[in-house]
Amino acid sequence: MKLLLLSDLHLLGTKDHYLDNIIKELIEENSPDIVVISGDIHETSKKMLINPFKHLSRVCLGVKTIFTLGNHEFFYRDIEQVHKEHNSFYRPEKYDVHCLDLLGHYDIKHVRFLGNVLWYDGSMSTLPVQNLYDWGAWMDRTIGVNKHFDYFVECRKCCKQIEESIKSTPEGMTKIMVTHCVPHSDLNGHMFKVDSPYNAYSGVADYLEYLSEYDMQVDYSISGHTHKRVMGKEIAGVKCINIGNDSHQFEYHILEV
């Protein structure tokens, strides 16, 4: 099974023809069986509401697509509101596009895809007393219009969903965990900047080790979010890929499983 791995597209609406064409060309050149996108697909705004299933079906040329939400999909919205909006657009009988945040997992032959945005829990903080709402440049402060955004609580909800999907996986299936934020500090290319305010909001510092310790190990970890490419890492027996896509250089990866 050939996978085309993408992340952090940050598409500006449904007419971002430059990126649309890059993705179409990648699909035509590589003929993947599945496209996997680890979050931050569309830029949200106060006014614009996008049907990601319809758009991705068109951009990915009808190839089966599996994606997670990223923090950018939640700007100016509540967590529940974003899930409700995506649920209202989900038409698997029409578009072969599937969101792990809504489903928990998606099985194809011998492979189970599982995951979600995996909100950060602050465990990678390198600065004392970091506070999301004191950091004016960070747009995540706009999440939770009508309800306070408690990222630690939301992170635990994500972990619970992931763990339930792992535990229910039939024996012998390959488990591919797809998250937006990183599940280990070694996958955060910003960690070398010990004074970076970004680190605390990059993911969960030791989640892969936690899963392994409690016999919930996955085979692959696919992530994004940090815009720093990290390849070839094996952590707690898990093969890890941070796509690392950035506006300065378009990144992708082909994975055979």
Calculate Rg over the CA atoms of the chain. Answer: 17
Interval 49-79: pLDDT, tens: 789 999 999 999 999 999 999 999 999 999 9
Instruction: Report whether 166 contacts 151 (CB < 8 A).
Output: no
Q: Which two tokens stand for residue 137?
A: 């440049």
Q: Where residue 170 sits, what CATH number does that domain have?
A: 3.60.21.10
Average pLDDT over residues 15-39: 91
Is 80 a residue whose pLDDT tops 60? yes
Show the domain range for 212: 2-256
Counting every residue, how long is the chain?
A: 257
Interval 189-225: pLDDT, tens: 887 777 787 888 999 999 999 999 999 999 999 999 9
pLDDT of the residue at 15: 59
pLDDT of the residue at 48: 57
Lowest mean pLDDT among 30-39, 99-108, 122-131: 122-131
Q: Which two tokens stand for residue 47?
A: 């006014």
Q: Strand order in 105-108's β-sheet?
A: 105-108, 111-116, 174-179, 220-223, 238-242, 230-235
Mean pLDDT of the chain: 92
Type of residue numbered 135: W
Average pLDDT over residues 146-165: 94
Q: pLDDT band at 228, cuts 50/70/90? A: very high
Say how many domains are in the chain.
Answer: 1
Is 86 a residue whose pLDDT tops 70? yes
SS3 call for 54: helix
pTM equals 0.95
C-alpha to C-alpha distance for 241 and 257, rounded to whole angstroms: 14
